Structure 1
Amino acid sequence: MRAFLTPVLTGGALAALLAGGALARQTAVAPAPQLAPARASPLPATQALFDSYVASGKTPGVVGAFGIGDRPTLFVSAGRVARDDDARRAGLDSLWRVYSMTKPVTAMAAMILIDQGKLRLDEPLSDVLPAFKTMRVLDDPNGSVDATHPAKAPITIRNLLTHTAGLGYDLGQPVGAKGTLLERYRMLGINPAQINAAGEAQSRRVRAPNIQEFANRLATLPLIAEPGTKWSYSIGLDLMGAVIEKVSGMPFDTFVNTRIFKPLKMRSSFWTVPRSEVGRLATVYAFGPGGTMIAFDPAATSVYLTPPSFPYGGAGLVMSASDYDRFLHMLQNYGELDGVRIMRAETAKLAMSNLLPRSVEFGSLPGNTGGTMGPKMGFGAGGSVILEDKADSMGVGTYGWGGAAGTIAWVNPVRKMRGTVMVNYFPGEKWPLRADTVKALQSDMARYARR
């Protein structure tokens, strides 16, 4: 696992910086066309790193957004949104599939309902979705779906937010659902994600047509662990979308759009990318055998240009670095940005605190899940939380998550710092971008601290 993005960034050093300014095609991994920087970068080491990633063919393009307090965000970018010679330069408004970085957005939508008193953190899920009233648990997580026993406790809203509900995940690897339970997930179409056009055509043959049917199907399957006893990466935030829809009385995506995106002026955040914006959309690549780079979901034919079966709260968004920075900036300010309050400060603090049930620890993750590990960590609403200071740590209270295609997001509201990095390639751990960015930012901070 890559360490969480954890450089030591002192407020003064960063303040000084801010004050100053289907398998469509295969090509060998080779240096991409060079693009001269538009202007001198305020983060030269980070700029050099991003330039090197493009020049060496690791990624066609990369964009970073870094900020402290309410000073203007610093954007660092290199390359283009695709390997095509006519592709647009990657920039603050380029569009990227953020995959699991959707989870913090969904989680904060749920926290808004908690803030309004319409939902309670420890409320049983069955109060909202009765189909989950009587759940069963596998006798053996790797055993038969027919060998089960009644759950000892109900699934709660806290459990969904923190991946402690006992739900599984079909990630095509040994995480979450396994064995016959994984087979049942696939048979019932419990796959709330879209990867490319070819894969989507197959998924739609069995996937539930709407979010409530998805929830009802999921309720018929046993859990892999007793609710509230184990951290296991899951589709809990996808199920949370069904909860939000029921409680709010409006479609899940409409609630997110009206309660988060619109008031925060996040105009480049989409569940479905408009055809008019396809030029801004990055192509997602996959690294194949023999050193090949595969255009896995080309922008021009992207699955994200057509509406999904339903909005996926765990992995469904396409966003710009600028928009995700505004989302993090709101969290950094404990629920407020530019005079607009999304939730009360105490609710935002709660969301970014360790919400794991007692005796449950945030366990290690396999690769390609979007998760990252670092110092001693807990888990808040849809994202991890650093619980102890270390020499290479952003500090206690740093909240964030990543995406399967390499994207990174973190915010420390105590130190009032935040960062977003956007790329689109599989697997997200192909290159040590997270660790490399840490080193580059540390170098930039040291340079300004010496001034």
Structure 2
Amino acid sequence: MDSLMTTTPKQVGLCPQRLARIDTWRDRLVAEGRLAGATTLVFRRGQVAHLGSSGLADLARGTPMTPETIHRIYSMTKPLTSVAIMMLYEEGRFQLDDPISRFMPGFAGQRVCTGGARGKLETLPAMRDITFRDLLTHTSGLTYGFMQATAVDALYREHGIDFGGAETSLGEVVEALAALPLIAEPGTAWNYSVSTDVLGHLVAVLSGQPFDRFLQDRLIGPLGMVDTGFQVPDGQGARFAANYALGADRFLKLIDDPATSRYLAPRKVHSGGGGLVSTAADYLRFCRMLLNKGELDGVRYLGRKTIELMMTNHLRGDMAAMGQPRWSESTAEGIGFGLGFSVTLDPARAQILGTPGECAWGGAASTAFWVDPAEEMAVILLTQLMPSYTWPLRRELRVLSYQAVID
């Protein structure tokens, strides 16, 4: 990973003294006990200009956090799954406005919850079926069981709609999901959900390959993401970080021991919404492909026009206008959603430094990335603290990264 440090910040229009503020910030978070450890990376104009790690990957064992540490990236899996389904889109397998019931009949004629209690929900027939674009933009009417906000969320928990922990198969979880009511009419509201897990199963249905195999053969492998997968690579467990949450006493509490984690063994269900582990070097390969409009090192994964469509806002207005006033630790005003990630529309409304057209997303353990085509820039944050809104890390790193731009 250190071999990627191929330039000085000034050569790519970044101030080295200002960029060093990221190291100070990261060290302070660790010193104050807010994080066990973290790695940050800033890439601009084809070069890594900043790379640093602070603290420990595993407090109990004293394992240092390094750029080679393997992290659970949770929802940073979603952009890879979205690229995978768009590869099949480019092959003419479907159109964005096609109903997914064309390929999975169980999703035909779903019903929308309109009220009632968990024991007896009131529902009406949906005005139309979920489309591929609904899934890609999280406007499908699906939800997550862990949201614990609606009676439908409770039904997810009752019926085992858990792509991260299910012991059946991807197809069986999706089939059970299709039988449950939606929380909103498709296309009408932004609700974070298992939509990308359904896309993972659609990859399998359309390609005739298991989802994990397609992702490895068509994207992860060719990109050279050697430490990325649905389990920690064999023999690499010592590089795997521990995962933490903030306890009631405000101290870090271990919630997943890297020595006994389920990520060390193969899964029966591969979650396109949150199942991957990765490293800073690996995820940078993916970010560089996005910045290069679908190509990296002579291999083309998607066409330029497809990447441009994915990085375009597909919502009617911003996320706030679609019923989501805040997201993670930030306002959702001025932030839209493309095909697989958020898209900045108006930094002033979002009240944060940024660039219109920049796309981003993060993971449940406080990881984050964004790619900014206008600034030819990508930034990655890897740490392991749940939930992601415990500290405003993404907002702070965004300011620290952009304030260093001088050219």
Tell me the equivalent position of 1:352.
311
AA in 2 matched with 1:183: A
Q: 2:12 aligns with which of 15, 39, 44?
A: 15
1:80 equivalent in alignment to 2:56: yes
Bigger relative contact order (CA 8 A; separation at least 6): 1
> How far off its partner does 1:374 sit?
5.3
Tell me the equivalent position of 1:248.
207
8 A Cα contact 1:362 1:377, kept in partner: no
8 A Cα contact 1:375 1:393, kept in partner: no
Tell me the equivalent position of 1:4.
none
> How far off its partner does 1:292 sit?
2.8
Q: 1:320 aligns with which of 257, 279, 297?
A: 279
SS in 1 for 2:270: coil
Structure 2 counterparts to residues 182-197 of structure 1, below 5 A = 182-194=153-165
Q: 2:336 aligns with which of 378, 386, 390?
A: 378
Tell me the equivalent position of 2:6.
none
354-363 or 46-55: bigger deviation:
354-363
AA in 2 matched with 1:398: E
8 A Cα contact 2:318 2:335, kept in partner: no
> How far off its partner does 1:396 sit?
0.9
> How far off its partner does 1:185 sit?
1.3
Aligned residues: 396
8 A Cα contact 1:372 1:401, kept in partner: no
Q: Distance in 1 between matches of 2:43 and 2:20?
A: 15
1:120 equivalent in alignment to 2:91: no
TM-score (norm 2): 0.90
AA in 2 matched with 1:341: R
8 A Cα contact 1:371 1:403, kept in partner: no
Tell me the equivalent position of 1:147.
122
Over aligned residue pairs, what C-alpha RMSD do you find? 2.5
AA in 1 matched with 2:293: Y
8 A Cα contact 1:78 1:90, kept in partner: yes
Q: 2:24 aligns with which of 40, 44, 48?
A: 48
Q: Deviations over 1:250-298 (max 9, x none)?
A: 0111111111111111111120113411111110011111223211101
8 A Cα contact 2:324 2:332, kept in partner: no
Tell me the equivalent position of 1:57.
33
1:265 equivalent in alignment to 2:224: yes
8 A Cα contact 2:311 2:359, kept in partner: yes
Task: Answer 1 or 2: which has greater strand percent.
Answer: 2
1:164 equivalent in alignment to 2:139: yes
1:342 equivalent in alignment to 2:317: no
> How far off its partner does 1:166 sit?
0.8
8 A Cα contact 2:318 2:336, kept in partner: no
8 A Cα contact 1:134 1:150, kept in partner: yes
1:211 equivalent in alignment to 2:187: no
Relative to structure 1, the CA distance from residue 227 to residue 293 in structure 2 (aligned partners, 3 Å threshold; closer, same or farther) is: same
SS in 2 for 1:113: helix
% identical equivalent positions: 35
Relative to structure 1, the CA distance from residue 70 to residue 133 in structure 2 (aligned partners, 3 Å threshold; closer, same or farther) is: same
Q: 1:425 aligns with which of 385, 388, 394?
A: 385
AA in 2 matched with 1:106: T
SS in 1 for 2:236: helix
SS in 1 for 2:89: helix
Identify unmatched segments of 5+ residues in structure 1. 1-11, 21-40, 195-206
AA in 2 matched with 1:59: L
Q: 2:72 aligns with which of 97, 101, 111?
A: 97
Relative to structure 1, the CA distance from residue 13 to residue 154 in structure 2 (aligned partners, 3 Å threshold; closer, same or farther) is: farther
AA in 2 matched with 1:152: M
> How far off its partner does 1:45 sit?
0.9
> How far off its partner does 1:173 sit?
3.4
Tell me the equivalent position of 1:110.
85
Identify unmatched segments of 5+ residues in structure 2. 1-8
> How far off its partner does 1:114 sit?
0.9
Q: Distance in 2 between matches of 1:113 and 1:264?
A: 17
Q: Distance in 1 between matches of 2:72 and 2:193?
A: 19
Tell me the equivalent position of 1:397.
357
Q: 2:197 aligns with which of 206, 228, 238?
A: 238
